[in-house]
């Protein structure tokens, strides 16, 4: 590895899996590479479990980042922004920073206000589960997934190289995107899917009928799965990607209204075309997903 001392801030599903994946890479790489991980974690219970990942565990951000070559911020998005704001006081000498937050424009804008002794790059691993916390962390969470990197005007060539090496250790595929384009795209494939799944769950839970769950099938199960996502994480995502999310909801509502009118009017031909084109788009998506990416 180009660097040795990493500080992971936030040992949840993503930060924990990141640490476990690096430990796995360290054990299996030839030649082996030195790796020293400090974990900053505010939850006492999680701190007790951190030894699978950490050489040093602390609750104190300033102490944790003190000797790190690279600080990896893996908390909810608005905490990442607050930590970026206090980082110059906590570590006046500067260091490198990568974050793993799910929205990128506000984070990257904050990174660009760091003093010149800092190098920073935005990161977003496109994987996740409807379970949260270090207990759900697994070293293969990133395997074969896309890891988005959002360079900023604080991204040095060295940090760029290190970020690509880390993504390689996670066995993910890197993809460079501009932060605002990233946010528009994840609004479409991640934040809107969460909201429509959550609204579906709220809608079904409102029907007071004991026999509703026994008759629900795999269709409901899959469509509602991401409604179980960690609310603290989602809160920050929705508030920091507000414009793109609202735009997607509005476009979505228009489409849903349009198809409801086809049903209302029993417009059989147009409704069938809508259903058929949907299935075609689903098949095209499946085909694209099964084609290996660069």
**Nearest residue (CB) to a second copy, 63 versus 232:** 232
The reply to whether 217 sits near a second copy by the rule CB under 8 A is yes
CA distances from 142 to 167, 188, 201, 251, 288 (A): 9, 21, 28, 31, 19
**Nearest residue (CB) to a second copy, 25 versus 141:** 141
From 28, 89, 153, 218, residue interacting with a second copy (rule: CB under 8 A):
218
How many whole angstroms separate alpha carbon 163 and alpha carbon 165? 5
The reply to whether 28 sits near a second copy by the rule CB under 8 A is no
The reply to whether 285 sits near a second copy by the rule CB under 8 A is yes
The reply to whether 2 sits near a second copy by the rule CB under 8 A is no
**Nearest residue (CB) to a second copy, 50 versus 192:** 192
- Residue 14 CB, shortest distance to a second copy, in Å, is 12
Binding positions for a second copy, 222-261, rule CB under 8 A: 222-232, 234-235, 238-239, 242, 245-246, 248-253, 255-257, 259-260
The reply to whether 143 sits near a second copy by the rule CB under 8 A is no
The reply to whether 204 sits near a second copy by the rule CB under 8 A is yes
**Nearest residue (CB) to a second copy, 117 versus 202:** 202
The reply to whether 198 sits near a second copy by the rule CB under 8 A is yes
Please give the distance of CA 229 from its chain centroid, rounded to a whole number. Answer: 12
How many whole angstroms separate alpha carbon 82 and alpha carbon 191? 22
- Residue 192 CB, shortest distance to a second copy, in Å, is 7
Binding positions for a second copy, 159-188, rule CB under 8 A: 173, 175, 177, 185-186, 188
The reply to whether 133 sits near a second copy by the rule CB under 8 A is no
From 89, 92, 116, 264, residue interacting with a second copy (rule: CB under 8 A):
264
From 66, 145, 156, 160, residue interacting with a second copy (rule: CB under 8 A):
145
- Residue 132 CB, shortest distance to a second copy, in Å, is 9
The reply to whether 144 sits near a second copy by the rule CB under 8 A is no
């Amino acid at each position: 590895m180009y660097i040795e001392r990493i500080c992971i801030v936030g040992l949840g599903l993503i930060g924990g899996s990141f640490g476990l994946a690096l430990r796995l890479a360290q054990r299996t790489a030839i030649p082996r590479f030195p790796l020293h991980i400090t974990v900053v974690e505010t939850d006492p219970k999680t701190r007790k479990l951190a030894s699978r990942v950490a050489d040093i565990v602390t609750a104190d951000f300033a102490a944790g980042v003190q000797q790190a070559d690279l600080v990896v911020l893996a908390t909810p998005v608005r905490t990442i922004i607050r930590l970026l704001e206090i980082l110059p006081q906590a570590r006046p000498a500067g260091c490198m920073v990568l974050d793993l937050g799910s929205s990128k424009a506000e984070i990257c804008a904050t990174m660009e206000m760091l003093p010149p002794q800092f190098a920073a790059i935005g990161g977003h691993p496109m994987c996740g589960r409807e379970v949260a916390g270090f207990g759900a962390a697994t070293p293969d969470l990133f395997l074969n997934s896309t890891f988005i990197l959002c360079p900023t005007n604080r991204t040095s060539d060295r940090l760029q190289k290190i970020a690509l090496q880390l993504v390689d250790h996670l066995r993910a595929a890197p993809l460079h995107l501009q932060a605002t384009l990233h946010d528009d795209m994840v609004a479409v494939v991640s934040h809107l899917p969460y909201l429509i799944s959550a609204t579906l769950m709220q809608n079904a839970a409102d029907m007071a009928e004991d026999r509703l769950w026994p008759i629900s099938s795999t269709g409901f199960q899959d469509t509602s799965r991401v409604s179980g996502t960690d609310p603290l994480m989602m809160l920050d995502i929705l508030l920091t990607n507000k414009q793109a999310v609202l735009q997607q909801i509005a476009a979505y509502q228009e489409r849903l209204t349009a198809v409801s009118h086809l049903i209302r009017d029993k417009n059989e031909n147009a409704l069938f075309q809508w259903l058929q084109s949907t299935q075609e788009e689903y098949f095209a998506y499946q085909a694209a997903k099964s084609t290996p990416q660069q």
